Chain A
Amino acid sequence: QVQLVQSESEVKKPGASVKVSCKPSGYSFTKYGISWVRQAPGQGLQWMGWISTFNGLTKSAEIFQGRVSMSTDTSTSTVYMELRSLTSDDTAVYYCARADIAVAPFDYWGQGTLVTVSS
């Protein structure tokens, strides 16, 4: 069955960077891209960006441009999202989700990774 397994929770200081991993299984890795969506405590969902696992093409939300990077490692079938210059406003659960293109619904989600930014 399809699963997306994410890395464990992280605690970071303001100004630092965080890198979250997402490892899909149960389907051909390069057949679907991966989007990243975050959810601040008690808040709604915010799309951050999408990466093609086929050719590495990325598309990110304007609000995160310059601060977010997404990458893939086809040798381990893993996708990464790095967010830089963290502030307390970046405290959230970060989800990866399967999506064939950048503007698409998400049929499978990872379990989420809590990133806490605190001094």
Chain B
Amino acid sequence: GQNIDQPTEMTATEGAIVQINCTYQTSGFNGLFWYQQHAGEAPTFLSYNVLDGLEEKGRFSSFLSRSKGYSYLLLKELQMKDSASYLCAVMDSNYQLIWGAGTKLIIKP
């Protein structure tokens, strides 16, 4: 079957760094996505990895290891507005997104 695992909830301190992990088993692979979603709003695209390695975009970075079925999202210099759910999703061989359940990130002052 298809499966994506990520932690349910994480807590971090403003100004710190947090890493959200995602492991996956899917039928085929056409890229891994990270989305940010604030309560009641639509998901916002953060990153897309299709090759192994690290993609950096400002305070956010995403890493992929296809051989390990593993990705992480790294958030630096955390701000209160980063409190949100972070969704890991893998595009399978049919170009359909398989979603993780999301990680609720709580930022404390």
Genuine A/B complex: no
What is the interface of chain A, defined by CB distance below 8 A to chain B? none
What is the interface of chain B, defined by CB distance below 8 A to chain A? none
